[in-house]
Amino acid sequence: MSMIKTPAEIALMRAAGRVVASTLAKVRDAAAVGVSLKELDTVAAASIAEAGATPAFLNYKPRWASVPFPGVICTSVNDAVVHGIPNDYRLKDSDLLSVDCGAFLDGWCGDAAISFIVGTPDPADQELIDATDAALARGIDAARIGNKMGDLGYAIGGAARRGGYGLLADHGGHGIGKTMHAEPDVPNDGRPGRGIKLTEGLVIAIEPMLILGGNDDYFHDDDEWTLRSANGRRAAHSEHTVAVTADGPVILTLP
Ligand code: MG
Ligand code: MG
Each residue's pLDDT, cut to its tens digit, for the chain (255 residues) gives 579 999 999 999 999 999 999 999 999 999 999 999 999 999 999 999 999 999 999 999 988 888 999 999 999 999 999 999 999 999 999 999 999 999 999 999 999 999 999 999 999 999 999 999 999 999 999 999 999 999 999 999 999 999 999 998 789 999 999 999 999 999 999 999 999 999 999 999 999 999 999 999 999 999 999 999 999 999 999 999 999 999 999 999 999
Q: How does 182-216 read in b/e, with b if 16+ C-beta sit within 10 Å?
A: beeebbbbbeeeebeebeebbbbbbbbbbbbbeeb
Dist CA 229 CA 251 (whole Å): 29
Helix (H/G/I), strand (E/B), else coil: 244: strand
Residue-wise pLDDT for 71-115, tens only, equals: 999 999 999 999 999 999 999 999 999 999 999 999 999 999 999
Instruction: Give the residue among 203, 172, 216, 166 at the shortest CA–CA distance from 190.
Output: 172
| Cα–ligand 1 centroid distance for 99 (angstroms) | 8
Under 8 Å between Cβ of 152 and 139: yes
Q: What is the pLDDT of residue 169?
A: 78
Q: Where are the domains of the chain?
A: 7-251
| Cα–ligand 2 centroid distance for 31 (angstroms) | 21
| Cα–ligand 2 centroid distance for 68 (angstroms) | 16
Domain 7-251 = CATH 3.40.1360.10: no
Task: Report the chain's C-alpha Rg in angstroms.
Answer: 17
Other beta carbons less than 10 A from residue 67's beta carbon: 11
Under 8 Å between Cβ of 20 and 71: no
| Cα–ligand 1 centroid distance for 80 (angstroms) | 14
| Cα–ligand 2 centroid distance for 123 (angstroms) | 27
Q: What is the pLDDT of residue 251?
A: 98
| Cα–ligand 2 centroid distance for 191 (angstroms) | 21
Q: Where are the alpha helices (DSSP H) in 59-217?
A: 123-141, 149-162
Q: Chain centroid to CA 39: how far?
A: 20
For residue 35, report the phi and psi dihedrals to the nearest 5 degrees.
-80, 140
| Residues paired with 100 in a beta bridge | 74, 113
Under 8 Å between Cβ of 102 and 180: yes
Under 8 Å between Cβ of 212 and 234: yes
Ligand number, closest to the Cα atom of 115: 1
Instruction: Give the residue among 111, 21, 104, 83 at the shortest CA–CA distance from 224.
Output: 83
Under 8 Å between Cβ of 209 and 82: yes
